[in-house]
């Protein structure tokens, strides 16, 4: 009975006495795109310049350095995931003191990790030099320390932003994260323009990350009037760390998916192969990040539903959210798969066949990956990241077990083939395992995603032949087939998806009608009730 009473409490009042302002799920999901546009969109635009200045060999060394840092990030105890989940839970229950303590605990975890990694980077440079093939311990140490700085700034920024997400503030912290990504990229590119060396690029990127962290802090402060952080509490720390560790094991699957391939390519084949893999995987990471953005907002939404209505609150909307999430999330992966053979030459120019192989080979598997977002969000919402952790650990381990022998036996193409086959199969097995533990059948998932996938396959079948027939080799040759195939795919997918109600439609007609009603009301001397109109429209939707 006590738990039911806690679930029914309204959100706590802010420090100024006003209740917390919760932004809608639509605003939250849309705002997740902003940092992705900065971190992936701008990065893709800058990559051709970075590669031309550094060369594929040094670019591959930086890619391997980043991969090592991402593996090290798994030691942060899942601080950002824990911050979002527990802040959302305590904020929904009105437990303000616990809300603040959670942020303090998670920021402390991120800073402690940064300190430990800096010591490891400083004293372990000689060992890392042999893995990175730099031939210079001083350069290796500098690159690793810059990577640790970038990583730590990013972790602290994401914890602060995740806490704002948990309090229902989606747009401002995402603006801050977008500015962080832009500052980091601007720092690296500017340093590279001044001195075209790997050392300068690393230093500039680290400086941009520091500036970006300051910007995130200022944006959140301007939105909420304060940085909500309190003294860490030991009684909460254990629960948060346990949740974070379990969720981090689940998150390790993505790290292994995106980082192990370049490390295996670099160690087995060489830094240039790691650089080529990195080019292709950047496109994959981009579409995966955009595809998975919606599930971040869904995570908070389901956590609040669970806090107020329990598992029944999640089951009631699981199929609808899964269908909508899949329809939005798989758009970019399928578009990349249909256009990769022209998109890569248009992006990088001539001579990057390996990047095309990676992008086209992994794109369709990533579509399955992002379509499972609601299933994963449910595990975090109900406080069972241990289940997602078990699934993620098995998924990650088997991917490496398959990838290494394939790379040794068949080289670069074997490495890509291993991941291309395992990603969709592993994700489907994971959905079956997770949903069976919470009483949701695999048929529910399959029926929900069947329609969006059928439309995506049809759009791909119509668009893909354009690129295969054109087979462009240069930027000039790639423009027409890329635009033509993209147009065909978008027209078919968006047209059918909207008509079949898989994709959300813009409420243009409702907005126009509301404006007309308000205009008539103003002419009659009445005050238009915009809030009531908006609420009625959302209910109808």
pLDDT reported for residue 71: 64
pLDDT reported for residue 25: 53
**Residue 479 binned pLDDT confidence (cut-offs 50, 70, 90):** very high
pLDDT reported for residue 295: 66
Of the two residues 8 and 88, the one the predictor is more confident about is 88
pLDDT in tens, 101-128: 888 888 988 898 889 889 988 888 888 8
Identify whether the C-beta of residue 302 lies closer than 8 Å to the C-beta of residue 377. yes
DSSP 331-357: HHHHHHHHHHHHHHHHHH-SS-HHHHH
Residue 501 sits in the same domain as residue 372: yes
Residue 49 sits in the same domain as residue 68: yes
Residue 440 backbone phi and psi in degrees, to 5:
-120, 125
Count structural domains, the chain: 3
pLDDT reported for residue 52: 86
Q: 42-46, 328-332, 460-464, 474-478: which has the minimum mean pLDDT?
A: 42-46
Hey, what are 91's tokens? 């904020």
- Residue 237, domain member (yes or no): no
pLDDT reported for residue 391: 84
Residue 345 sits in the same domain as residue 387: yes
Is the Cα torsion angle 141, 142, 145, 150 positive or negative in sign? negative
Residue 488 sits in the same domain as residue 513: no
DSSP three-state, residue 13: strand
Residue 390 sits in the same domain as residue 487: yes
Which residue, 209, 232, 255, sits at the end of a domain? 232
Residue 396 sits in the same domain as residue 279: yes
**How far apart are alpha carbons 220 and 35 in whole angstroms?**
14
pLDDT reported for residue 461: 96
pLDDT reported for residue 210: 95
Q: 23-32, 154-163, 222-231: which has the minimum mean pLDDT?
A: 23-32
**How far apart are alpha carbons 417 and 403 in whole angstroms?**
8
List the one residue out of 305, 264, 231, 266 whose CA is nearest residue 401: 264
**How far apart are alpha carbons 225 and 228 in whole angstroms?**
9
Identify whether the C-beta of residue 201 lies closer than 8 Å to the C-beta of residue 188. yes
Of the two residues 237 and 423, the one the predictor is more confident about is 423
pLDDT reported for residue 457: 96
Residue 489 sits in the same domain as residue 517: no
Q: What are the DSSP E strand ranges found in 296-440?
A: none
User: Does position 375 have pLDDT exceeding 50, yes or no?
Assistant: yes
**Residue 6 binned pLDDT confidence (cut-offs 50, 70, 90):** very low
User: Does position 337 have pLDDT exceeding 60, yes or no?
Assistant: yes
- Residue 20, domain member (yes or no): yes
List the one residue out of 461, 20, 8 whose CA is nearest residue 224: 20
pTM for this model (two decimals): 0.68
User: Does position 516 have pLDDT exceeding 70, yes or no?
Assistant: no
pLDDT reported for residue 119: 92
In the Cβ-directed half-sphere of 454, how many Cα atoms lie within 13 Å?
A: 10
C-alpha gyration radius of the chain: 24
Hey, what are 371's tokens? 């379509």
pLDDT reported for residue 448: 94
Directed axis angle between helix 475-499 and helix 331-348, to 10°? 170
- Residue 393, domain member (yes or no): yes
pLDDT reported for residue 373: 87
Residue 191 sits in the same domain as residue 56: yes
User: Does position 306 have pLDDT exceeding 70, yes or no?
Assistant: yes
User: Does position 63 have pLDDT exceeding 50, yes or no?
Assistant: yes
pLDDT in tens, 241-288: 777 776 666 566 777 777 788 888 888 888 888 888 988 988 898 888
Which residue, 232, 257, 279, sits at the end of a domain? 232
Mean residue pLDDT of the chain comes to: 81
Residue 290 sits in the same domain as residue 434: yes
pLDDT reported for residue 275: 87
Of the two residues 533 and 456, the one the predictor is more confident about is 456
List the one residue out of 166, 19, 18, 12 whose CA is nearest residue 93: 12
- Residue 462, domain member (yes or no): yes
Taking residues 461-485, report their average pLDDT: 93
What is the domain range of residue 439?
A: 245-505
**How far apart are alpha carbons 317 and 328 in whole angstroms?**
17
**How far apart are alpha carbons 323 and 28 in whole angstroms?**
18
pLDDT reported for residue 492: 96
**Residue 17 binned pLDDT confidence (cut-offs 50, 70, 90):** very low
**How far apart are alpha carbons 335 and 465 in whole angstroms?**
13
User: Does position 487 have pLDDT exceeding 80, yes or no?
Assistant: yes
Residue 265 sits in the same domain as residue 354: yes
Hey, what are 108's tokens? 């402390």
**Residue 3 binned pLDDT confidence (cut-offs 50, 70, 90):** very low
- Residue 69, domain member (yes or no): yes
For the chain, the maximum distance between any two Cα atoms, rounded to a whole number of angstroms, is: 80
**Residue 536 binned pLDDT confidence (cut-offs 50, 70, 90):** very low
pLDDT in tens, 155-210: 899 899 888 888 778 788 888 888 998 899 899 999 999 998 999 999 999 999 99
- Chain centroid to CA 101: how far? 26
Residue 253 sits in the same domain as residue 220: no
pLDDT in tens, 504-513: 765 444 434 5
Taking residues 381-410, report their average pLDDT: 86
- Residue 388, domain member (yes or no): yes
- Residue 61, domain member (yes or no): yes
pLDDT reported for residue 2: 34
User: Does position 80 have pLDDT exceeding 50, yes or no?
Assistant: yes
**How far apart are alpha carbons 217 and 264 in whole angstroms?**
37
Q: Buried b vs exposed e over 218-248: b needs ≥16 C-beta within 10 Å?
A: ebbeebbeeebbeebbeebbeebbbbbbbbb
- Residue 75, domain member (yes or no): yes
**Residue 349 binned pLDDT confidence (cut-offs 50, 70, 90):** confident
Hey, what are 198's tokens? 């790997």
Which residue, 207, 232, 257, sits at the end of a domain? 232
* pLDDT-above-70 percentage for the chain: 83
pLDDT reported for residue 255: 72
Residue 485 sits in the same domain as residue 516: no
**How far apart are alpha carbons 486 and 447 in whole angstroms?**
27
pLDDT reported for residue 26: 57
């Amino acid at each position: 009975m006590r738990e039911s009473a806690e679930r029914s409490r309204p959100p706590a009042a802010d420090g100024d006495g006003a209740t917390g302002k919760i932004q809608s799920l639509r605003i939250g999901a849309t705002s997740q795109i902003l940092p992705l546009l900065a971190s992936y969109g701008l990065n893709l635009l800058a990559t051709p310049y970075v590669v031309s200045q550094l060369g594929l060999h040094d670019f591959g060394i930086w890619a391997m350095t980043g991969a090592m840092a991402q593996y090290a990030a798994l030691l942060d105890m899942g601080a950002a995931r824990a911050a979002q989940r527990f802040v959302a839970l305590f904020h929904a229950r009105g437990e303000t003191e616990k809300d603040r303590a959670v942020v303090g605990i998670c920021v402390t975890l991120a800073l402690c990790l940064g300190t430990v990694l800096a010591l490891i980077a400083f004293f372990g440079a000689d060992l890392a030099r042999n893995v990175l093939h730099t031939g210079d311990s001083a350069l290796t140490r500098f690159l690793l320390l810059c990577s640790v700085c970038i990583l730590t700034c990013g972790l602290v920024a994401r914890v602060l932003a995740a806490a704002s997400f948990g309090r229902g503030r989606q747009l401002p912290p995402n603006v801050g994260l977008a500015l962080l990504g832009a500052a980091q990229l601007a720092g690296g590119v500017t340093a590279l323009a001044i001195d075209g060396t790997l050392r300068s690029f690393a230093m500039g990127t680290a400086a941009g990350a520091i500036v970006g962290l300051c910007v995130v802090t200022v944006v959140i402060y301007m939105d909420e009037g304060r940085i909500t952080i309190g003294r860490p509490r030991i009684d909460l720390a254990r629960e948060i760390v346990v949740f974070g560790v379990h969720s981090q094991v689940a998150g390790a699957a993505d790290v292994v998916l995106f980082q192990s391939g370049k490390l295996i390519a670099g160690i087995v084949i060489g830094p240039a192969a790691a650089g080529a893999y990195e080019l292709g995987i950047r496109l994959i990471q981009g579409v995966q990040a955009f595809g998975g953005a919606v599930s971040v907002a869904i995570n908070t939404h389901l956590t609040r539903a669970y806090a107020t209505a329990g598992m029944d609150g999640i089951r009631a909307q699981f199929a609808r959210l899964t269908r909508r999430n899949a329809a939005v999330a798989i758009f970019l992966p399928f578009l990349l798969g249909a256009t990769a053979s022209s998109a890569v030459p248009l992006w990088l120019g001539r001579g990057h066949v390996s990047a095309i192989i990676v992008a086209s080979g992994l794109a369709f598997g990533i579509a399955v990956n992002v379509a499972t977002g609601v299933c994963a969000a449910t595990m975090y919402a109900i406080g069972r990241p241990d289940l997602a952790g078990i699934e993620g650990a098995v998924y990650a381990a088997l991917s490496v077990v398959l990838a290494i022998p394939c790379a040794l036996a068949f080289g670069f193409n074997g490495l890509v083939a291993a991941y291309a086959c395992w990603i969709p199969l592993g994700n489907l097995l994971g959905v079956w395992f997770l949903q069976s533990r919470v009483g949701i059948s695999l048929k529910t998932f399959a029926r929900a995603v069947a329609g969006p996938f059928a439309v995506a396959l049809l759009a791909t079948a119509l668009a893909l032949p354009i690129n295969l027939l054109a087979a462009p080799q240069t930027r000039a040759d790639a423009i027409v087939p890329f635009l033509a195939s993209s147009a065909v795919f978008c027209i078919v997918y968006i047209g059918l998806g909207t008509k079949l109600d898989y994709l959300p439609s813009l409420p243009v007609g409702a907005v126009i009608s509301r404006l007309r009603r308000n205009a008539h009301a103003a002419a009659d001397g009445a005050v238009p009730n915009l809030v009531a109109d908006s609420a009625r429209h959302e209910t109808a939707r």
